[in-house]
Structure 1
Amino acid sequence: MQHKKRLIFILGMLSAFGPMSIDMYLPSLPTLSRFFSASHLAVQLTLASFFVGLSLGQLFFGTLSDRFGRRGPLLLGLTLYVLTSAGCALAPSIGTLIVLRFVQGLGACAGIVISRAVVRDRFPPQEAPHIFAAMILVMGLAPIIAPLVGGYLLVWWGWQSIFWLLTLFGIGILLLVYLGLTESHEPTAEHSLAIVQVLRRYRILLQDKRFMAFSMVYALCYAGMFAYIAGSPFVFIDLYRVPASSFGWIFGANALGLVLMAQLNRLLHRRHNAESILQTIVWVQSLAALLLLISALTPGIGMFAILLPLFVYVASIGLVGPNATALAMAEQGRHAGSASALLGAMQFTAASLAAIVIGSMTVHSALALGITILGCASFAVIALRYARTLPAPFLHTKS
C-alpha cells in the first residue's frame, strides 16, 4: 500500500474537483449575467448543468472503474476535464457555456467517485470515517481559496481567466495521478458493461435500504449547501453590495468551518459512533436552517443575521459528509465503484435541483435560501430517522 499520507493527499485533491470547479467561478455569476445579457436563471443553469454532469457521469465512471480498475477511467475523466475547462474559457455564448459546463462535470466526477471507491478498496470500514475526514482537510482548502482567487481573477483579468486556471489545475492533478497513484482494484470481467448487468447492479443498490437511506441523508444535506452556493453570490454581491473580490472571504470562512468540523469528527469518534454523530449534527443543521428562514422573513435584517445560520449549516457538512458516506459505503466492498457512483449521482441530482429552485425564485432577499435550505434539512431528518430503524452490521460499535 502506498504511504497513507500521500494517498490521502491525492484522494483529497481528486475530491476537490467539485469545489474548485464550482466555488472559483461563483463571484463571476452576476458578471456572467451582464456579459452575456442573460437572465439569472440562465446563469444558474451553468451551475446546474455542471451538477447534472457530475451526477450522470458518476454512474458511468463508477461502472468503468469496477470493470477496468481505478486508474484508467480516472485518467480518462481528468483528460476530459482539462479539455472542457479550456473550452469554457473560450465560450462565445451562455448556451455554449451551459453545455461545456455539463461536459466539464462529466470529467470532474471521475475524481470524486473514484476517490471514494479507492478509500473502500484500501481501508477497512471502521477506519473510513477518519480517512474521509482527512480527505476533507485537503479538499477543504479548495472552497476556502477558490472563491478568493476567483474574485481577484475576475477583477484583474475577467471571468475567462478563472477557467484557464481550472485548466491548469486539471493538468496538475492529471500528472499527480499518473505519477503517484497505483491501482487499487484489479480489472475483473465479473463486472460486465452489458447494460442489463449494469442496471442489475444498480437495482441491487437501490434495493439496499440502509445504503439508500444514508445516501439520501448525504444528498439532502449537500443539496442545502449547494442551494447556498447557488444563491449566495446574488444575495451578498447584488443585495448586500459585497464587492466580488471580497465575496471570497465570506465563502472561505464558511468553508473553513466545514474543514474544522471534519477534523472535530476524528475526535468525536473516540467516544461516539458514526450514527449518533450524524443524528446530532442533522438536527443542528435543521435548527440553523430554521433560524435562517426566520432571519430572512425579518424586515431590515442585517447581513450578519444571515451569515451566522449559514455558517453553522455549511460547517455542519464537515460532520455529515464523512459519517454518512462511511455508513452508506460500509457493506459495498465488491461494488464500491458503483455504490460510490450512485451515492454521488444522488448528491448532485439533489444539488442541481436545489440550484434550479434557487435560480427560478425571484431574489429580493435571503428568503429563497431560507426556504430551500430548511426544506432540505427537514427531509434529511426524516431520512435519518428511517435509516436508524434499519439493522447495522458493525458500525454501531465505537470507531
Structure 2
Amino acid sequence: MLLALALLSAIAPLATDMYLPGLPALADDLGTSTSSVQLTLTTFMAGLGVGQLIVGPLSDGWGRRRLLLGGTVVFAISGLLCAIAPSVEALVAARLLQGLSGGAAIVLARAVITDRTTGDLAAKLFSMLMIIGSVAPVLAPVLGGALLGPIGWRGIFWVLTGTGILMVVAVLAVVPETLAPERRHGGGLAAHAHNLRYVLGNRRYVGYALTFVFGFGALFSYIAASPFVVQDVLGLTAGQFSIVFAVNSLGLMAGSIVNTRLIGRFHARQMLGVGVATLLVAGVALTLEATVGGADRAVFLPLLFAVPVAIGFTMGNATALAQSEVREAAGTGSAVMGAGQFGLAALVSPLAGGSAAGMAISILVCAAIAALSLFTLTQAPASRTDEAEPARP
C-alpha cells in the first residue's frame, strides 16, 4: 500500500517534469507561442492546489477510497485528452483537469496514512514517501528527454495515461477504505466550513503546517532559480547543471533516509527542529556568500546542497505532526497544507528570480518563517478552538 501511495504522491513531479523537454516541439506542432505553452504548466499547478482544497474536505465526509478511485480514473482520462489535444486551448483545459485529479491523489495519499498511523510511525512513513518522491523529479525530465525522440510529446502524455491506469489498478488492489463510517463528518458547505475552522483554529496544526509550507517554499526557491544561478552566475554548463541538480536531489533522498533511521531514537519534533535549524543556517550562509562573498562556486554549491538535505528532515516530520493535530479532519488538514504548498510555490518562483542573491534571500525568508512558526506557534497551549469538534452527521 505504501508503494501505491508513493506513486500517487509522485504524480505531480511526473506530470510536471516529463513533458518539459518537449515544450519547444509542442509549441511548433500546435502553432502557438511560448507563453501559451507555459500556460499548460501554470494551469496544472493551479489544479493541483484547487483539487486538494475540494477533495480533501469531501473525503472527510465521503471516505477516501471512492474519491481516490474517481481521481485516478479522471487522471488517466485527462492524460488521454492531453495526448489527442488538437489545440493549445484544449491542452490547457486538459492539463487543468489533470491537475485537479492529481491534487486529489496527493491529498488522499496523505489522509490515508493519517487514518492508519500516528506519531513516529506516521513521520517515518511520510519520510519514506519523501524518499520515493525525491526520485521522481530526477528521473522525470531524463525519462521525458529519452522518450521525446521516439514517441514525441504526445507519446509522453500516453505514458502518463498508462501511469494513471496503473494508479487505478493499484488503488483497486491494495488501498482499502481507511476512514470508517462512524468517523466521517456531515456533508454540505456548512460542514466543510466548520471543519476548516476546526483545522485552522488549532494553533499547533497551523504552526506545523506553516513549517511544512515554507520549508517547501525554500526548496522551490532553489528549484525555480537554480537553472539560471548555476549556469548564468556560477558559469556551469547545462550538462553540469544536470549533475548538480541530480546530486542535490540525492541529498534530499539521503536526508529523508537518515531521518527515517533516526525516528524512534529521537522524536519527530526533534528531527524537525534539526531540519529547520539547518535550513535557516544554510539560508543565512547562502545570503552572505551571494551578497558579500561574490558567489564563489566552491562555497556556494556545498551550501546549496545543505538546503535539500535539510528538507529531508523537514517535510515528512512536519506533515506527520500537523496531521496528528487534526486526525478527526485529516482530509481537510491535508488539503490546507497541499494548497498552501503549491500556492506558495507559485509565488516564490518569480520572487526568487535568476540571481544568486534573489534565490538565497528567498530561501532565507522562507526558512525564517518556517522556524518562527515551529518555535512559536507549536509551543502555544491549546486554545478554545483547539477543543472544538469537527462536523458530525
TM band (smaller chain): 0.7 to 0.9
Q: 1:181 aligns with which of 159, 175, 183?
A: 175
Structure 1 residue 318: deviation in Å?
1.4
351, 355, 371: which one aligns with 2:361: 371
Tell me the alpha carbon deviations over residues 65-102 of structure 1, each in whole angstroms, 9 at most, x when there is no partner. 22222111011111222222333345566665554433
> Is the deviation greater in 339-348 or in 15-24?
15-24
- Which residue of structure 2 aligns with residue 355 of structure 1? 349
Asked if 1:271 corresponds to 2:265, the answer is yes
Contact kept, 8 Å, 2:74 with 2:101, in 1: the verdict is: yes
Partner of 2:187: 193
Assess, with a 3 A threshold, how the Cα gap between structure 1 residues 124 and 284 changes in structure 2: closer, same or farther.
Answer: closer
Q: CA deviation at 1:44?
A: 5.6
Contact 1:51/1:351 (8 A) holds in 2: no
Which residue of structure 2 lines up, in the alignment, with residue 320 of structure 1? Answer: 314
* Inter-partner Cα distance in structure 1 for 2:294 and 2:22: 27
Give me the whole-angstrom Cα distance separating, in 1, the residues matched to 2:304 and 2:21: 17
**Corresponding position: 1:286 with 2:280:** yes
1:26 touches 1:233 (CA, 8 Å); kept in 2? no
Q: 2:120 touches 2:267 (CA, 8 Å); kept in 1?
A: no
Aligned counterpart for 1:339 among listed residues 306, 326, 333 = 333
- Tell me the equivalent position of 1:107: 101
**Alignment of structure 1 residues 66-215 onto 2, 5 Å:** 66-91=60-85, 97-154=91-148, 157-187=151-181, 191-215=185-209
Amino acid at match of 1:129: A
Distance 2:156 2:85 in 1: 13
Deviation at 1:233, TM superposition (A): 4.0
Residue identity over aligned pairs, in percent, reads: 36
CA 1:189–1:283: 2 relative to 1, 3 Å: closer
CA separation of 1:102 and 1:368: change in aligned 2, threshold 3 A: farther
Selected match of 2:52 from 51, 58, 63? 58
In 2, Cα distance between the equivalents of 1:43 and 1:227?
22
TM-score normalised by structure 1 residue count: 0.83
Say which is worse superposed, 228-237 or 324-333, in terms of deviation: 228-237
Other-structure match for 2:305 = 311
Find the aligned partners of 2:167 and 2:272 in 1 and give their Cα distance: 32
- Distance in 1 between the 2:245 and 2:236 partners? 15
Query: Structure 2 CA distance, aligned partners of 1:384 and 1:160?
Result: 44
> Does the CA-based 8 Å contact 2:53-2:339 persist in structure 1?
yes
Unaligned runs of 5+ in 1: 1-6, 393-399
Consecutive unaligned residues in structure 2, runs of 5 or more = 383-393
Task: Give the structure 2 partner of residue 38 of structure 1.
Answer: 34
The letter of the residue matching 1:171 is I
Per-residue deviation, 1:276 = 2.1
TM-score (norm 2): 0.84
Q: Is the 8 A contact 1:69 1:184 kept in 2?
A: yes
- Sort the Cα spacing of 1:58 and 1:183 in 2 relative to 1 into closer, same or farther, 3 A: same
Give secondary structure in 1 for the equivalent of 2:375.
helix
For residue 365 of structure 2, what is the amino acid of its counterpart? Answer: G
The separation in 1 between residues aligned to 2:111 and 2:312, in whole angstroms, is 19
* Residue 384 (str. 1) matches residue 374 (str. 2): yes
Residue type of the alignment partner of 1:369? M
Residue by residue, what CA displacement relative to the aligned partner does 1:109-137 show, whole Å, maximum 9, x if unpaired? 12211111111111233421111122223
Q: Is the CA contact (8 Å cut-off) linking 2:208 and 2:378 kept in structure 1?
A: no
- The residue identity in structure 1 corresponding to 2:15 is S
Deviation string, structure 1 residues 250-296 (Cα, Å, up to 9, x no partner): 43322222122112112322432222221221121122233334454
After TM superposition, the structure 1 stretch with the greater mean CA deviation from structure 2, 223-232 or 107-116, is 223-232
CA distance in 2, matches of 1:157, 1:302: 41
Query: Once superposed, what is the RMSD of the aligned Cα atoms?
Result: 3.1
Aligned mates of 1:300, 1:94 — CA distance in 2: 43
| Offset of residue 222 of structure 1 | 0.5
The residue type paired with residue 317 of structure 2 is N
Q: Which amino acid aligns with 1:145?
A: L
1:156-196 deviations in whole A, cap 9, x for unaligned? 55444433322222221121112222111134695233111
SS in 1 for 2:313: helix
Shift of 1:373: 2.1
Cα distance, 1:375 vs structure 2: 2.0
Shift of 1:236: 5.0
Q: Which amino acid aligns with 2:43?
A: S
Give the corresponding residue for 2:10.
16
Counterpart residue type for residue 320 of structure 1? T
Distance in 1, matches of 2:325 and 2:374, equals: 18
Paired amino acid for 1:38:
T
Q: 1:325 to 1:189 in 2, by over 3 A?
A: closer
* Deviation of the 1:378 alpha carbon: 1.9
Once the two structures are superposed, the pairs formed by residues 203-242 of structure 1 within 5 Å of their partners are 203-236=197-230, 242=237
